[in-house]
Amino acid sequence: MSTASTAHGALAATSDRTHSLITWRLMPLLLICYLFAHLDRINIGFAKMQMSSDLHFSDTVYGFGAGLFFVAYALFGVPSNMALDRVGPRRWIATLMIVWGVLSTSMLWIESASGFYTLRFLLGVAEAGFFPGILVFLNRWYPARRRAQVTALFAIAVPMAGVVGGPLSGGILQMFHDFGGLRGWQWMFLIEGAPVVLLGLVVLKALPDSFESVNWLSGEQKQQLREQMASEEQRKSITTFGAILRDAQVWLLVAVYFAVMLAVNTLAFWMPTLIHGAGIGSDGQVGLLSAVPYLAGCVFMIACGRSSDRQRERRWHLCVPLLMSAVGIALAGIAPANATLVLGGLVIAGMGASAALPMFWQLPPAFLSNGTQAAGIALISSFGSIASFLAPYLIGWMRDTTHSASLALYVLALFIALGGLLVLRTRAAIVNPQ
């Protein structure tokens, strides 16, 4: 073996050890934080069955309130992510978590539609900077060729929130109903919201702002990270805020992310209702069955991320999951009273949506420089949140108007499929890691 090959092998081994150490140090805390973030975002879907009855909310009121979260998310995503760069990831992420933990817990005191709308909007303001902020944070620790697996590992919190949250939320609704003078849905908001405040304090103590500030990486490891990041910066075409707004690829990514969010949030907010409509009456059974599509999604998204990094290919690894989501959602609408068909469609859709989310976020850093990632990622995330508003609202309005969600599911499936095909319009030479 030549000297050059030996040196290259030693360098690769050092890089592997460095990123394994970073993953073990950062990911457990980040994964738990995002698990609670998504749980507090989607538990409204489980609360709907009792809360709407208690407070006399129509499906339109529920869908509008559920979607208002994402209106706030869209409005405040960019300023929140810019604040992260100014304040620092540790302090800003901790602040967001403490605030949204208080707001999520406060949902137990809702008595009217206006109160529901207000708290959902404020919760969206508080969470707007969390997910895009963590993406920016991770992009500054990992080179592009390692990010698909790492982002999938972080984003596994989305299906895991369904795996854990389904049985947990369903169990709380059933076992705590009318306990201590509170309804089951009120206990659910209390039990699932309050721990986030404590997690925010842990983040304030434990999360480092950057790899430069930690003492558990050697000087050699830090220098290797600097060189990897500097090498990638030379290939990026968007280096100013104005360029973000002018670049056609950014707006193409906005359209694709729109489709991703349609898939994710159709499941997040309406899966329990669709399962209930297929003839499953018990809250506990609905919670358990809701976990199945998310469990399949956990396995598929990790496999998809590993395959993408191994093959150094991004486009088809996003296109195929989006097409799977479209097919699955359409299947769930064909025979809404057929439990087998509905659950089968939801499993396919859950696998596709779960994998599509982390795979999408491999594309923007290929264009955005380090200095524009906070604004660019937040901009894409904010515009995509419009889809997160439309998905629950459209289904709610359609159910009230036609007494069926099928037509809305077909329309959503069409838009998701179009988004999947748009992925192939991105430039492979840029989005695929070198």
Tokens of 109: 């005191």
pLDDT confidence tier of residue 208, bands split at 50, 70 and 90: very high
Dihedrals phi, psi of 231, to nearest 5 degrees: -65, -40
pLDDT confidence tier of residue 234, bands split at 50, 70 and 90: low
| Amino acid at the residue 244 | I
Mean pLDDT of 402-418: 84
> What is the model's pLDDT at position 17?
85
For residue 405, give the DSSP letter.
Answer: S
Angle 371-372-377 from CA coordinates, rounded to 5°: 135
pLDDT confidence tier of residue 119, bands split at 50, 70 and 90: very high
Could you tell me which residue, 362 or 285, shows the higher pLDDT?
A: 362
Does the pLDDT of residue 354 top 80, yes or no?
yes
SS3 309: helix
pLDDT tens digit sequence for 91-114: 999 999 999 999 989 988 988 999
Q: Cα separations (Å) of 134 from 171, 218, 307, 346, 374?
A: 31, 24, 23, 28, 10
Q: How many residues does the chain have?
A: 434
Round to whole Å and give the CA distance between 41 and 35: 10
| Amino acid at the residue 300 | F
> What is the model's pLDDT at position 422?
94
Average pLDDT, the chain: 83
pLDDT confidence tier of residue 75, bands split at 50, 70 and 90: confident
- The CATH classification number of 24-207+238-431 equals 1.20.1250.20
Mean pLDDT of 199-211: 92
> What is the model's pLDDT at position 6?
54
For residue 238, give the DSSP letter.
Answer: B
Q: Cα separations (Å) of 181 from 48, 176, 186, 187?
A: 19, 10, 10, 10
Could you tell me which residue, 5 or 175, shows the higher pLDDT?
A: 175
> What is the model's pLDDT at position 290?
79
3-state secondary structure 100-162: HHHHHHHHHHCCCHHHHHHHHHHHHHHHCCHHHHHHHHHHCCCCHHHHHHHHHHHHCHHHHHH
| Amino acid at the residue 430 | I
Find residue 368's DSSP bridge partners.
Answer: 238
Round to whole Å and give the CA distance between 193 and 388: 21
Choose from 71-75, 164-168, 400-404 the range with maximum mean pLDDT.
71-75
> What is the model's pLDDT at position 168?
79
Does the pLDDT of residue 326 top 90, yes or no?
yes
Does the pLDDT of residue 61 top 70, yes or no?
yes
> What is the model's pLDDT at position 10?
57
CA neighbor of 48 nearest in space, from 221, 242, 270: 270
> What is the model's pLDDT at position 241?
74
Mean pLDDT of 223-229: 85
Does the pLDDT of residue 184 top 90, yes or no?
no
> What is the model's pLDDT at position 237?
64
In this predicted structure, which of 137-151, 217-231, 272-286 has the lowest mean pLDDT?
A: 272-286
> 3-state DSSP: the chain helix, strand, coil percent, rounded to 5?
85, 0, 15
> What is the model's pLDDT at position 11?
62
pLDDT confidence tier of residue 342, bands split at 50, 70 and 90: confident
Contact 315, 431 (CB under 8 A): yes
pLDDT tens digit sequence for 3-36: 545 545 556 667 778 888 988 999 889 988 888 8
> What is the model's pLDDT at position 347?
92
Does the pLDDT of residue 167 top 70, yes or no?
yes
Find residue 238's DSSP bridge partners.
Answer: 368
Round to whole Å and give the CA distance between 112 and 18: 52
> What is the model's pLDDT at position 103?
93
CA neighbor of 257 nearest in space, from 368, 382, 395: 382
Round to whole Å and give the CA distance between 108 and 186: 4
> What is the model's pLDDT at position 201?
95
Mean pLDDT of 364-368: 82
> What is the model's pLDDT at position 200?
93
Does the pLDDT of residue 233 top 80, yes or no?
no
For residue 403, give the DSSP letter.
Answer: S
Tokens of 49: 């069955």
pLDDT confidence tier of residue 43, bands split at 50, 70 and 90: confident
Contact 128, 119 (CB under 8 A): no
